[in-house]
Amino acid sequence: MTRTAKKPAKTKRKPATDTPCPPETMEAFGQAAECLKALAHPVRLRMVQLLLAGRYTVGELAEDSGIPDNVASENLRLMQRCGFLNSEREGRRVFYHVAEPHLKNLMACVEGRFLNGSG
């Protein structure tokens, strides 16, 4: 007589809550996703890393990242539109700095996962 193993019964997964996600929460997640896309580029992540340590001009950021000034400006404007950065004009120079304090936690996560030997 051949014995067959019984398959475990499938259990239906319970949602985390009994109520569906409200539309305003989904809208907030949508906004978050759009802003996270703005960070999803190696050059922009490097710029944020530098800007968390101090303020820099477009030229300084471009030189460090190995890209032309106009490309650096475009990347900075994108992050500024999401509210991650602010800029200040001093004479002919424009300095950028971090406006969103939560970027520090995001970068710590990225650095811990990908730069500190565990990636």
**The pLDDT value given to residue 19:** 83
Q: pTM for this one? A: 0.80
Selection from 34, 82, 44 nearest residue 64 by Cα: 44
Residue 45 and residue 59 in contact, taking contact as beta carbons nearer than 8 Å: no
Domain map (residue ranges) of the chain: 40-115
**The pLDDT value given to residue 106:** 96
Return the CATH number of 40-115, one of 1.10.10.10, 1.10.287.3510, 3.40.47.10, 1.20.1530.20: 1.10.10.10
Mean pLDDT of 8-22: 72
Whole-number Å distance between alpha carbons of 56 and 72: 12
- pLDDT tens digits, one per residue of 49-108: 999 999 999 999 999 999 999 999 999 999 999 999 999 999 999 999 999 999 999 999
Tell me the three state secondary structure of residue 51.
helix
Residue 10 pLDDT exceeds 90:
no
Instruction: Work out the number of other CB atoms within 10 angstroms of the CB of residue 79.
Output: 23
